[in-house]
Amino acid sequence: MVAMIISSPMDPSLYSVRMRASSHGQHLTGAERIVPAAAASEVAAALTQRAMLCAGGPATEVHCSLEWIDPARLCNARLPDISTYQVDTWREGRQAASCLLVRAGVPVDVARQAVNALAEGAGPGGRVMRGAMIVDAATGERLESDPARGVRASRMDLSAELRPQLERTLAAAGLAHPRVLEALVLAGKVLQAPGMVAELCWSDDPAYSTGYVADPRSGYQRITALKPDGDWRGGRVFFVDTKMASLTALVDYLECQAVLFNAAGAISPPVKWIAADE
């Protein structure tokens, strides 16, 4: 059910609009925005329509929520830099992902373990998780309390001024796919979380095989293939330094802290991944 908001065009309030869709208990898709009150109803309707047209559908359950954001708790931030590694096969892509995670400070066995978990289905029974795994970057131990749900990074978006500028810049760089923009925003918030070492992600959309590794130093690093075409498995992993932040503080930041990005990072030209770099 979508709540409707009636407001004055001059109302400066911001709302978090969040959508999640599932089919018979299996997660299908999700999306969210932070928008002015005057646009909240329109955006909620658009996200709901997107859920109904999801390629993995038909959705049997769609939840769309609207929540006022306390201006005192809103953080403004800069997006991470973007780089792209071109690979010939998804196997090469997974090797590249492991290598980039190691460069970020994740031990090689922990990196490979995480890659394998996403490849096999990280949820119970090999299913796709609704959220992300939380992994101790030093030991590989999984820390999320619910292995089916995991943790969801939420309440983040681009400022109204930055969105059109960034859309044009990404299109000029050949990165116009909407998944790039959404993943960049999510990775931007994740990288600012307390104790965050790195993130690994590839989509559970069978038609989208690109994924990424992100870390605070190198930014958002796209890898052009991380799974075979038609594979429905995917997900994300957050690698954390448990000595730097408590699990409670980390989850609270990821799920509750509102972040609005008002500046973009640099975009590097794509480069061919060279296996000798591993």
The single-letter DSSP state of residue 203 is -
Residue 6 has pLDDT above 50, yes or no: no
Calpha distance 217→109 (Å, rounded): 21
Distance CA 189, CA 257 (A): 9
Fill in the amino acid letter for 186.
L
How is the chain split into domains, by residue range? Answer: 14-69, 76-277
pLDDT value of residue 34? 93
Q: Residue 129 and residue 186: Cα distance in Å, rounded? A: 17
Burial of 125 (0-12, 13-18, 19+ CB in 10 A): exposed
Helix, strand or coil, per DSSP, at residue 70: coil
In this predicted structure, which of 24-28, 138-142, 274-278 has the lowest mean pLDDT? 274-278
Among candidate residues 163, 182, 190, 157, the one with its CA nearest the CA of residue 69: 157
| 240 — pLDDT class (breaks 50, 70, 90) | very high
Contacts of 59 (CB under 8 A, 6+ apart): 21, 22, 23, 28, 29, 51, 52
Q: List, for residues 166-221, the tens digit of each pLDDT value.
A: 999 999 999 998 889 999 999 999 999 999 999 999 998 899 999 999 999 999 99
pLDDT at 11 over 50: no
CA–CA separation, 150 and 235 (whole Å) = 10
Predicted confidence (pLDDT) per residue in 17-62, tens digit:
999 888 777 777 788 899 999 899 999 998 888 888 776 667 788 8
Q: What is the pTM of this model?
A: 0.87
Is residue 5 pLDDT above 80, yes or no?
Answer: no
CA 6 vs CA 34, 39, 43, 67: distances in Å: 16, 9, 13, 14
pLDDT given at position 56 = 64
